[in-house]
């Protein structure tokens, strides 16, 4: 047993676990649950579950610190709701996210039960000691007084609230609000709330809470009486000023006073009071509700009811990018994370709060440890690539498409794909649309080749992220990218990213870093450690794949990248 394992074993068999429960009055009260070791317990290995509720699916990982590995996983896919309305992107929390989570819990529970059956000598090899939740950022979940959704959640990639985002920015600056809100786009929650007030005034009047996707999941898992959140996810709500770590009353005022909607009744409650309370990074919100315990561990459910010892704490959770920053094992100076999910994101960790002069494309978020997470997010990433794959090619997978795309020359014979099927956020072009440009009589024949179009799309979404990297004030100090998310396992894309960005790449062995980061947070919360300290302890054991990718074709990509930027600017670079 090495030193780290000794510490881990000691803390998991230790005697007291303090669980912060939401009190049923308006305050949070610390309640201590005495959790002691009993016969057989000391032999069980602690396991922490991390749930990541993404845009295209939910994943759960079960992480065992003693083995320093993921011992079970499950995932379920789902779609954004079909709509004819341009710019709309919605999902129903109760019929989309929660059933996917339930199914994943059942599958993980089943896998762990098999482990138990394999070991007849011990009642169980593992014990779930905590759950953390990571969620797609931004969006808006509007709840009624019974804590039920009033309407489908508007997602981060919903760009209906363009006018509202601009109105809020203008109001904030007209009131000389301190700080910089230039980064506010329709993705954020505040413009969506204003959009709801203007477009659905009757529903708006019934809204008691406006929360984020991960807040909703925690609310349900722990059966809380009121919503909570953390600073990382809250910093994507459009009210939160990261430097001050508080929601802006000016933004709330702008929404409260707005009279463009025809309200059916006047509510006196400010929108500020409808936002969830913010807990610190290693706090626990409550314990896993029996309903979900039975999904996870049906064979021990009755035992769990009988004894506090088996209560499973639910930690505060965070946005998926914040959790990813934990899941890569902490981001060092000189590194940035590039996440290839439905969205593309690129972010670094900073000890300093954002400065007022940071470029508007960098959102000044908080991270999930108490530090800051300057982040750029592109809407057009694997969501668009997957649509191209499914609707424009006969390739059966990204792997097959990439194999053929690899034989297409860099720059795709001069054919440029603009990937803005759902508008764009970085650059802030919510009205942008997709296009294929640069056609000539000599390259026209290639435009109907699916491998060319797939590659042109892949190049485009990579150029977007590379351009976002250039917005970081410390870009010259960033020499290494930690690449994560669903697209990170694609070797062809890995090479392309290295070539285009001219940076070293590292791939954590676990690409589901958001779910893993949520599990780390649960481990920190359950063992009472600071999140950063806990994650650093785990990171030593997380091997990363060797840094084999070397940039070779940078110059060849530069020309195609310049063409891509020029076409986009010509079409969409105007005041929205
Ligand atoms: N080899 C691959 N190359 C490119 N994209 C991929 C590959 N494998 C999976 N993807 C895409 O990654 C996305 C899923 O990534 P993920 O990080 O789980 O997204 P989210 O969290 O937004 O649901 C899907 O769009 C999927 O099609
Ligand atoms: O579904 P993902 O993982 O792309 O998450 C969406 C991001 O949180 C948007 O910033």
Tokens 């912060």 -> residue: 20
For a mutational test of ligand 2's pocket, the pick from 96, 238, 317, 321, i.e. the residue with the most ligand atoms closer than 8 A to its C-beta, is 321
pLDDT at site 119: 43
Which residues in 509-541 are b (16+ Cβ under 10 Å) and which e?
A: ebbbbbbbbbbbbbbbbbbebebbebbebbbee
Q: Indicate whether residue 377 lines ligand 2 (CB < 6 A).
A: yes
CB atoms within 10 A of CB 225: 13
State whether residue 92 is helix, strand or coil. Answer: coil
Query: What is the model's pLDDT at position 43?
Result: 66
Q: Does residue 416 or residue 3 have the better pLDDT?
A: 416
Q: What integer pLDDT is reported at residue 309 of this predicted model?
A: 39
pLDDT of the residue at 507: 87
Question: What's the confidence (pLDDT) of residue 550?
Answer: 72
Q: What is the mean pLDDT of residues 257-264?
A: 67
What CA dihedral angle connects 398, 404, 409 and 414, to 10 degrees?
-70
Query: What pLDDT score does 115 carry?
Result: 56
State the pLDDT confidence band at 260, using cuts at 50, 70 and 90. low
Reported as a pLDDT band with limits 50, 70 and 90, residue 359 is confident
Q: Determine the distance separating the centroid of ligand 1 and the alpha carbon of 80, expressed in angstroms.
A: 14
114: pLDDT strictly greater than 90: no
**CA-381 nearest atom, ligand 2:** 4
At 390-431, the pLDDT tens digits run 999 999 999 999 999 999 999 999 999 999 999 999 998 999
Q: Which ligand is nearest to the CA of 346?
A: 2
Q: Is the pLDDT confidence value at 184 over 70? A: yes
Q: Separation of 486 CA from ligand 1 center, angstroms?
A: 3
SS3 88: coil
Q: Which helix (H) or strand (E) holds 22?
A: strand 16-22
Closest atom of ligand 1 to CA, residue 342: 22
What's the Rg (C-alpha) of the chain? 24
Taking only the tens place, the pLDDT of each residue in 363-395 is 999 999 999 999 999 999 999 999 999 999 999
Q: How far is the CA of 346 from the centre of ligand 2 (A)?
A: 11
Under the banding of pLDDT at 50, 70 and 90, the label for residue 121 is very low
Q: What percent of the chain has pLDDT over 90?
A: 72
Peptide bond into 427 cis (omega under 30): yes
Residues with CB under 6 A from ligand 1: 54-57, 341-342, 382-383, 385-386, 398-399, 485-487, 489-490, 493
Please give the pLDDT value at position 549: 72
> What integer pLDDT is reported at residue 5 of this predicted model?
34
Backbone angles phi, psi at 395, to 5 degrees: -65, 145
Give the CA distances from residue 333 to residues 21, 347, 478, 495, in Å, rounded to whole numbers and listed in that order: 36, 12, 8, 23
Ligand 2 atom 9, closest CA: 137
The 10s digit of each residue's pLDDT in 487-526 is: 999 999 999 999 999 999 988 888 889 999 999 999 999 9
Q: If you measure from the C-alpha of residue 325 to the centroid of ligand 2, how many angstroms do you get, rounded to a whole number?
A: 13
Q: CB within 8 A of 574, min separation 6: which ones?
A: none
d(CA 347, CA 481): 10
Residue bearing the bigger pLDDT, 157 or 44: 157
Compute CA distances 414 → 291, 448, 551, whole Å: 56, 14, 21
Q: Is the model's pLDDT at 25 over the cut of 50?
A: no
* Residue to mutate, 54, 55, 56, ligand 1, most ligand atoms under 8 Å from C-beta: 56
pLDDT-based confidence at 37, cuts 50/70/90?
very low
Mean predicted confidence (pLDDT) in 329-353:
92
* pLDDT exceeds 90 at position 348: yes
Give every CB contact of residue 551 below 8 A, 6+ residues apart in sequence. Answer: 498, 499, 501, 502, 503
Average pLDDT, the chain: 87
The reported pLDDT for the residue numbered 150 is 98
Is there an atom of ligand 2 within 6 Å of 343 CB?
A: yes
Mean pLDDT of 3-30: 33
Query: For residue 387, which ligand has an atom nearest its CA?
Result: 1
What pLDDT band is residue 35 in, cutting at 50, 70 and 90? very low
Q: For ligand 1, pick from 382, 459, 492 the residue to mutate: most ligand atoms within 8 Å of CB.
A: 382
Residue 4 has pLDDT above 70, yes or no: no
Q: Which atom of ligand 2 is nearest to the CA of 377?
A: 10
Of residues 327 and 357, more confidently modeled: 327
Per cent of the chain over pLDDT 70 is: 86
Instruction: Return the best residue to mutate from 51, 90, 137 for the ligand 2 pocket (most ligand atoms within 8 A of CB).
Output: 137
Give the position of tokens 């070991």: 119
**C-beta neighbour count of 419 within 10 angstroms:** 28
188 in contact with ligand 2, CB cutoff 6 A: no
Q: Are 130 and 122 in contact (CB under 8 A)?
A: no
483 pLDDT above the threshold of 80: yes
What DSSP designation does 15 have?
S
Cβ atoms within 10 A of the Cβ of 358, count?
18
Ligand nearest to the CA of 78: 1
- Which residue's CA is the closest to the ligand 1 atom numbered 19? 341
Contacts of 128 (CB under 8 A, 6+ apart): 47, 48, 49, 62, 112, 296, 297, 312
- The secondary structure element, H or E, covering residue 384 is helix 382-392
User: What is the whole-number distance in angstroms between the Cα of residue 493 and the centre of ligand 1?
Assistant: 12
What pLDDT, on a 0 to 100 scale, did the predictor assign at position 36? 31
The answer to whether residue 20 scores a pLDDT higher than 80 is no
HEC secondary structure over 252-321: HHHHHHCCCCCCCCCCCCCHHHHCCEEECCCCEEEECCHHHHHHHCHHHHHHHHHCHHHCCEEECCEEHH
pLDDT in tens, 208-245: 999 999 999 999 999 999 999 999 999 999 999 988 89
Query: Mutation test of ligand 2: which of 50, 51, 54, 79 has the most ligand atoms closer than 8 Å to its C-beta?
Result: 54
Q: What is the pLDDT of residue 16?
A: 31
Separation of CA 19 from chain center: 25
How far is ligand 2, taken at its centre, from the CA of residue 135, in Å?
A: 8
The pLDDT value recorded for residue 122 is 53
């Amino acid at each position: 047993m090495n030193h780290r394992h000794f510490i881990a074993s000691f803390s998991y068999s230790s005697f007291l676990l303090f669980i912060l429960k939401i009190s049923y009055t308006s305050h949070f009260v610390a309640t201590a649950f005495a959790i002691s070791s009993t016969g057989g317990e000391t032999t069980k290995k602690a396991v922490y579950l991390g749930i990541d509720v993404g845009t295209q699916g939910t994943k759960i990982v079960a992480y065992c610190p003693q083995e320093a590995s993921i011992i079970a996983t499950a995932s379920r896919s789902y779609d954004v709701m079909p709509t004819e309305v341009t710019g709309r992107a919605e999902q129903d929390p109760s019929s989309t996210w929660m059933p996917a989570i339930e199914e994943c819990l059942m599958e993980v529970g089943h896998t762990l039960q098999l482990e138990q059956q394999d070991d007849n000598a011990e009642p169980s090899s593992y014990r779930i000691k905590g759950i953390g939740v990571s969620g797609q950022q931004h969006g808006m979940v509007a709840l009624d007084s019974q804590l039920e959704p009033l309407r489908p959640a508007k997602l981060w990639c919903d760009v209906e609230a363009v006018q509202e985002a601009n109105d809020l920015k203008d109001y904030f600056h007209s009131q000389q609000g301190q700080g910089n809100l230039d980064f506010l786009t329709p993705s954020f929650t505040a413009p969506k709330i204003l959009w709801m007030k203007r477009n659905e005034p009757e529903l708006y009047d019934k809204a008691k809470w406006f929360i984020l996707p991960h807040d909703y999941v925690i609310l349900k898992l722990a059966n809380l009486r009121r919503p909570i959140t953390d600073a990382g996810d809250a910093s994507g709500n459009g009210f939160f000023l990261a430097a001050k770590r508080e929601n802006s009353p000016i933004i709330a005022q702008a929404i409260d006073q707005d009279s463009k909607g025809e309200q059916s009744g006047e509510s006196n409650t400010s929108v500020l009071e409808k936002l969830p309370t913010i807990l610190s990074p290693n706090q626990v919100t409550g314990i896993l509700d029996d309903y979900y315990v039975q999904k996870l561990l049906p064979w021990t459910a009755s035992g769990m009811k009988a004894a506090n010892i088996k209560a499973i704490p639910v930690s505060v959770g965070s946005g998926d990018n914040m959790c990813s920053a934990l899941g890569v094992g902490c981001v060092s100076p000189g590194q940035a994370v590039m996440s290839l999910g439905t969205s593309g994101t690129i972010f670094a960790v900073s000890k300093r709060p954002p400065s007022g002069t940071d470029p508007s494309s960098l959102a000044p978020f908080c991270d999930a440890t108490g530090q800051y997470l300057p982040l750029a997010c592109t809407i057009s990433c694997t969501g668009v690539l997957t649509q191209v794959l499914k609707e424009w090619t006969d390739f059966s997978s990204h792997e097959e498409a990439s194999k053929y795309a690899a034989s297409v020359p860099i720059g795709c014979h001069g054919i440029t794909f603009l990937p803005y099927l759902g508008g764009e956020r970085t650059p802030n072009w919510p009205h942008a649309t997709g296009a294929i440009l640069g056609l000539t009589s000599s390259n026209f024949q290639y435009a109907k080749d699916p491998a060319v179009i797939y590659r042109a799309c892949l190049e485009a979404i990579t150029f977007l992220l590379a351009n976002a990297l250039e917005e970081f004030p410390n870009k010259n100090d960033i020499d290494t990218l930690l690449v994560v998310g669903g697209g990170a396992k694609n070797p062809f894309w890995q090479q392309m990213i290295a070539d285009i960005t001219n940076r070293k790449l590292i791939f954590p062995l676990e690409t589901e870093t958001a779910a893993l980061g949520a599990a780390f947070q649960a481990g920190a919360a359950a063992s009472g450690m600071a999140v950063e300290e806990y994650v650093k302890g785990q990171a030593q054991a997380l091997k990363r794949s060797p840094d084999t990718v070397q940039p070779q074709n940078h110059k060849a990509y530069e020309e195609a990248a310049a063409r891509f930027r020029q076409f986009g600017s010509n079409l969409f670079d105007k005041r929205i």
